Amino acid sequence: MIQFLLNQELRSEHALDPNLTVLEYLREHLGKSGTKEGCASGDCGACTVVVGELSKAEDGSEHIRYRSLNSCLTFVSSLHGKQLISVEDLKHQGKLHSVQQAMADCHGSQCGFCTPGFVMSLFALQKNSDAPDLHKAQEALAGNLCRCTGYRPILAAAEQACCQAGGDQFDAGEAQTIARLQAIAPKDIGELNSGDKRCLVPLTVADLADLYGSHPEARLLAGGTDLALEVTQFHRALPVMIYVGNVAEMKRIERFDDRLEIGAATPLTDCHDALTAEYPDFGELLHRFASLQIRNQGTLGGNIGNASPIGDSPPLLIALGAQIVLRKGEATRTLALEDYFIDYRITARQESEFIEKIIVPRAQAQWKFRAYKVSKRLDDDISAVCAAFNLRIENGLVAEARVAFGGMAAIPKRAKACEASLLGKTWNQAAVERACTALADDFTPLSDFRASKEYRLLSAQNLLRKYFIELQSPHIETRVTAYV
């Protein structure tokens, strides 16, 4: 059984199809049709809901952390122990919620199809920011598309909603909601099943290892932002899933003198602050990673686990020399991330083995790390090319080089010929030009709808040139923001 709060109502579910999304559950099972389906692929935000989860502050006290999610990519099993808030829950005692009122006052809605999604994103923004500014509002809304109103009135609504003092019914009832969430906090493995389909929800890494050992055929479900597409876009059934998002040890970020250890099930939003503190470019890239809804549910482990050639974090992690800890039963092994990717969607992961954590070396002054993402749009778009450069330059010579790319091969990959051509050489324009030529030996990229092979290679070379120029002139702030 799984349990969660639907706003304040306790729901206990057992016999539900584990392939059921929260969007379908709301609309078809509960008749709550305020949440809309636009694309069923995480692109439009019409299906945005907010999920509240208990979170511990440093002093040990608990509060509720609210996040906006795309309900079209969220399976119901991942609600276990949480609070689901949909647009129907905002109106209170006959009065619109302040974010709804702001949308009405500022004329932020025309046909209205996108409006519930915008309202829920604004609600999450209001809950999460003490002093939201235009930048935060744009970030919160970048995953919501509107075909008719135009964004100016919606941003005006964001400003009005977030500047208003005074709480709402959720603030007034917070203590009660915390008590309810504590009362339903999962104590054992949860399960949803229907016929021969099931989703298991372990709470500890040991239980996850055991379950995966006894169900090697299971698909691991983290944020579901890739996996759910198999159901919603390709109409495949996933008969057995194991949800890793409630495994506490895999949602932690631990900081050591020389490294960060990031649990594989840590949402990308939570990785953002820790990685930005070490590597500002990593933080910038995460800003450009999908939308806030996707970053709130997508995980670092899932971004590696899907083994996509255009996943954004792997080239950066490879250039940083990151390692992953793989676990099978009680045995663990540590692998350089670059050795994890073998061929297109083929990895070194064995049966019943999973990524437990990612080890990222902490920043060192001698290493110069930069990352660049080239995509058609600034927000909510997947890379045509993603590049990460990390050089150690000593007395004007390249002492060590780690250069990695996404979008240039069937896997995220180091550019070994490029690195070799730089090693031991004076770090100057001539060396960079030789390294650009060597990149053509490293990669034979493909042409697809994102970019042609010629464009990809030229972009990769130009990004190396850009890196060189930026290191020569550190005041130039053009990082990460390149467009096709």
Ligand X SMILES: Cc1cc2nc3c(=O)[nH]c(=O)nc-3n(C[C@H](O)[C@H](O)[C@H](O)COP(=O)(O)OP(=O)(O)OC[C@H]3O[C@@H](n4cnc5c(N)ncnc54)[C@H](O)[C@@H]3O)c2cc1C
Residue for token digits 């970030």? 139
Q: Kindly state the tokens that stand for 149.
A: 């109103």
Q: Interface with ligand FES includes 74 (CB under 6 A)?
A: no
Site track 32-51 with ligand FES (rule: CB under 6 A), x = hit: -----xxxx-xxxxxx----
Shortest CB 445 distance to ligand FES, Å: 29
Shortest CB 298 distance to ligand X, Å: 3
Closest CB to ligand X among residues 46, 294: 294
| Distance of alpha carbon 202 from alpha carbon 198, whole angstroms | 13
* Residue 299 touches which member of ligand X, ligand FES, none, C-beta under 5-8 Å by kind: ligand X
- Angle, vertex CA 251, rays to CA 257 and CA 248, nearest 5: 115
Shortest CB 426 distance to ligand X, Å: 35
* Residue 46 touches which member of ligand FES, ligand X, none, C-beta under 5-8 Å by kind: ligand FES
* Residue 463 touches which member of ligand FES, ligand X, none, C-beta under 5-8 Å by kind: none
- Span near ligand FES by CB under 6 A; candidates 3-11, 12-20, 31-39, 254-262: 31-39
CB–CB of 360/337 below 8 Å? no
The angle that helices 151-163 and 134-141 make with each other, rounded to 10 degrees, is 120
Q: Which amino acid is at 484?
A: V
Interface with ligand FES (CB under 6 A), residue from 112, 167, 216, 424: 112
Closest CB to ligand X among residues 161, 264: 264
* Residue 367 touches which member of ligand X, ligand FES, none, C-beta under 5-8 Å by kind: none
Residue 149 CB neighbour total at 10 angstroms = 20
Closest CB to ligand X among residues 226, 419: 226
Interface with ligand FES (CB under 6 A), residue from 53, 101, 113, 368: 113
| Distance of alpha carbon 49 from alpha carbon 1, whole angstroms | 22
* Residue 323 touches which member of ligand FES, ligand X, none, C-beta under 5-8 Å by kind: none
Closest CB to ligand FES among residues 113, 455: 113
Residues that bind ligand X (CB under 6 A): 41-43, 219-227, 244, 264, 289-290, 294, 297-299, 301-303, 305-306, 311-312, 354-355, 382
Shortest CB 154 distance to ligand FES, Å: 8
Closest CB to ligand X among residues 410, 417: 410
Closest CB to ligand X among residues 289, 467: 289
List of residues contacting ligand FES (CB under 6 A): 37-40, 42-47, 70, 72, 109-115, 146-149
